[in-house]
DNA sequence: GACATAAACGAACGATCGTTCTATAAAGCA
DNA sequence: TGCTTTATAGAACGATCGTTCGTTTATGTC
């Protein structure tokens, strides 16, 4: 890796954890230059525009998410177990990565949902991809017979998303130590309601 | 209402719908002055600081929420019906009010959850109050016997919150026309799992 | 209508914003 | 080592930021 790539990555590392606290929109070249002990113009040259820097942060976030949340779970056999692993990894991926201030993309989703442009598009695509990935995982749990054949997969993913966001809010805003327990309880209820019926009433 | 209060309210109206799109943190005195056809200093004088303006917007949001979502439901008899009404009002209160860009407080929650200060405190208190209000409503549905006596009320509210946030994201970011239907489906599943058991297996 | 008060303005402040330019220093390669 | 390319620095730009100040205009009261 050449010198250029190296510093670019160092900048992204810093930008990533900074964006976690103040949001992707709150990033500023000047502050980032201070934190990385660089000049504004030197840092700027690596991205060409602020927007490109923000996009790079969003892409960085996607990549880390895939590495930390999804990939480890792919080593497990397909089915409910893998889904459980993804959910577990997902719920504490902000601890695993250097994310002092919560998921960057999730925050960006609320920030840019009304501001058309490349940033919104990037966030949207990232979350669409996540939803597809989750849907595929749920679908496999249906195939293995662990979840009912008439499971509404889109609905399942919808509710999973809600559980995640509620958890984030409880943790970050209310400092609720019960957040994780509640999240798992909600998830188990979701699984239970979509499990194969052993005894029909 | 004197002239002062009158313009202050006009400013808040504009700030409110603007904040809905760009976030409370993205508000700027200059832009707001343009939109209200005032000078920066004239507008500024009504609040004394930008932070005070932001706080005023958050309080405005709380007030409108109470008027539009909670109050109408209080005319219904306590119990599940009232809860349903609140949920219904809640899900489309962004349409009812002038909120082109989604719930201001919910967005602010993601924005300020890592930035200590009066704004975070205000958001936190607003959402705590909402949670308490929801919990009380659920508790009454337990009292009327419509929900089971061993309903975990905090858990119920937790999941309700998740449903709301998932709905917002689907609507705003994915333009998903099914979002409302999914929200109601999730809500009904939540109610069903906490309903009194008529036939034990 | 005169007067005290409150509201709005316009200009300016220092700070920071993203960006551009030119020059210097470092890195990579022959 | 020498040379080319790349990376970084520094200064400056115009724009906008929140805020302050003094002045002027409107409002409400006697």
Cβ-based burial of B122 (10 A; exposed 0-12, middle 13-18, buried ≥19): buried
Q: pLDDT digit string (tens) for B42-89? A: 999 999 999 999 999 999 999 999 999 999 999 999 999 999 999 999
Domain presence at residue B132: yes
Confidence of residue A93 (pLDDT cuts 50, 70, 90): very high
Residue nearest to nucleotide D16 (CA to C1'): B30
pLDDT of residue B44: 98
B155 touches chain A (CB under 8 A): yes
Q: How far apart are CA B105 and CA B62, in angstroms?
A: 8
Q: pLDDT digit string (tens) for A73-91? A: 999 999 999 999 999 999 9
Q: How far apart are CA B23 and CA B17, in angstroms?
A: 9
Which chain A residues in 57-96 lie under 8 Å from chain B, judged by CB atoms? none
Domain presence at residue A201: no
pLDDT of residue B200: 40
The interaxial angle of helices B50-65 and B3-22, nearest 10 deg, is 80
Q: Buried b vs exposed e over B169-199: b needs ≥16 C-beta within 10 Å?
A: bbbbbbebeebeebbbbbbebbbebbeeeee
- Check CB contact under 8 Å for A166 and B185: no
B53, closest nucleotide (Cα–C1')? D18
Q: In this structure, what CATH number is given to the domain that contains residue A111? A: 1.10.357.10
* SS3 per residue for A26-48: CCCHHHHHHHCCCCHHHHHCCCC
Look at the alpha carbons of B144, B147, B152, B156 in this order and tell me if their dihedral is positive or negative: negative
Residue of B nearest to A164 (CA): B162
* A111 vs B contacts (CB less than 8 Å): 23, 107, 110-111
What is the tally of structural domains in chain A? Answer: 1
Mean pLDDT over A127-149 rounds to 98
* DSSP category for residue B12: H
Q: Nearest by CB to B22, from A115, A165, A193: name it.
A: A115
Domain presence at residue B11: no
Domain presence at residue B101: yes
Supply the range of the domain harboring residue B96. 58-193
Domain presence at residue B40: no
* B173 vs A contacts (CB less than 8 Å): 109, 113, 120, 123-124, 127
Q: Nearest by CB to A110, from B110, B159, B186: name it.
A: B110
Q: How far apart are CA B92 and CA B181, in angstroms?
A: 12
- Quick one: how far is CA A75 from the chain centroid? 20
**Does B199 have pLDDT greater than 80?**
no
Domain presence at residue A49: yes
Domain presence at residue A135: yes
pLDDT of residue A201: 41
Domain presence at residue B34: no
Look at the alpha carbons of A17, A20, A24, A27 in this order and tell me if their dihedral is positive or negative: negative
Specify which residues B195 forms β-bridges with: B147
């Amino acid at each position: 890796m050449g010198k250029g790539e190296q510093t670019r990555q160092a900048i992204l590392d810093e930008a990533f954890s900074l964006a976690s606290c103040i949001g992707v929109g709150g990033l500023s070249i000047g502050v980032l230059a201070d934190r990385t002990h660089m000049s504004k113009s030197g840092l700027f040259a690596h991205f060409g525009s602020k927007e490109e820097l923000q996009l790079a942060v969003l892409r960085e976030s996607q990549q880390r998410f895939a590495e930390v949340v999804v990939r480890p779970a792919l080593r497990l056999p397909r089915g409910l177990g893998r889904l459980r692993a993804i959910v577990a990894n997902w719920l504490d991926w902000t601890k695993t990565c250097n994310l002092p201030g919560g998921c960057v993309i999730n925050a960006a989703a609320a920030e840019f949902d009304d501001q058309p442009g490349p940033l919104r598009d990037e966030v949207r695509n990232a979350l669409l991809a996540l939803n597809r990935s989750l849907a595929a995982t749920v679908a496999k749990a249906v195939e293995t017979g662990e979840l009912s054949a008439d499971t509404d997969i889109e609905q399942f993913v919808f509710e999973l998303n809600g559980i995640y966001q509620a958890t984030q809010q409880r943790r970050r805003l209310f400092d609720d130590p019960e957040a994780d327990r509640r999240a798992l309880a909600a998830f188990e209820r979701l699984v239970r309601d979509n499990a194969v019926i052993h005894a029909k009433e």
